[in-house]
């Protein structure tokens, strides 16, 4: 099984490019953000706990997202691998993912880092707020906190994955959405070869 990670700050385009990659390589796309929003919409206890954290721009506990990921690994069949979007987001999650995969005799195939500057994060999230209506996209203070959370808790993953050569950086900032998507597809194709 292949395990690709789409990495990057909020608004980098992870969700935007995931579909094309998943289709090309027969991967199941798993977005922890989408799974959490589904729990919120369904009004579950987990959703209620997650909502208060998401609405502050904070991360939900590692154990919550890891439970969702492991259950997806255990239940989803008929694919050649997984495309993780928004997970892992802390070094602890990355270590736990490695342990989860080691138990299955697998490992992370590659991490595709979609890199954009903070200024682009702000611009894109503001645009997305109007289209998708996410509460955590609509407020400047929450956006600032998500950017801060990314730099303090998530960015250290770049070095974590660089250490053993699993990190592949991709410019997520220049050209059209299609240009960016083509760069991501070309990068992943080059990793496979
Ligand atoms: P984006 O990357 O565009 O900010 P996501 O949909 O990936 O949005 O995530 C939305 C929110 O869901 C995050 O700000 C965070 O609160 C929560 N979340 C998503 N994935 C994780 C994760 N792996 N660990 C902790 N919290 C997460």
Q: Is 104 a catalytic residue?
A: no
The answer to whether the CB of 116 falls within 8 A of the CB of 173 is yes
Full-model pTM: 0.95
Catalytic residue, from 2, 37, 51, 89: name it.
Answer: 89
pLDDT, tens digit (0-9, with 9 covering 90-100), for 62-88:
999 999 999 999 999 999 999 999 999
Q: How far is the CA of 164 from the centre of ligand 1 (A)?
A: 25
> Cα–Cα distances in Å, from 85 out to 78, 101, 157, 193?
19, 16, 14, 23
Strand order in the sheet with 81-85: 27-31, 81-85, 2-7, 110-115, 167-171
Residue 171 predicted with pLDDT over 70: yes
């Amino acid at each position: 099984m292949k395990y690709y990670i789409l990495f990057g700050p909020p608004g980098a385009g992870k969700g935007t490019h995931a579909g094309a990659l998943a289709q090309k390589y027969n991967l199941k796309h798993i977005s922890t953000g989408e799974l959490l929003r589904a729990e919120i919409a369904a009004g579950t206890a987990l959703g209620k706990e997650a909502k208060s954290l998401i609405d502050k721009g904070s991360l939900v506990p590692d154990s919550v997202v890891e439970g969702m990921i492991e259950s997806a690994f255990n239940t989803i069949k008929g694919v050649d691998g997984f495309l993780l979007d928004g997970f892992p987001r802390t070094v602890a999650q990355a270590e736990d993912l490695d342990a989860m995969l080691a138990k299955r005799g697998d490992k992370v195939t590659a991490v595709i880092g979609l890199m954009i500057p903070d200024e682009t994060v702000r611009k894109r999230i503001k645009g997305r707020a109007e289209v998708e209506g996410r509460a955590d996209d609509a407020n400047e203070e929450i956006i600032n906190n998500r950017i801060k959370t990314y730099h303090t808790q998530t960015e250290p993953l770049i070095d974590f994955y660089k250490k053993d050569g699993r990190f592949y950086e991709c410019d997520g900032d220049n050209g059209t959405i299609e240009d960016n998507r083509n760069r991501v597809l070309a990068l992943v194709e080059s990793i496979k070869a």
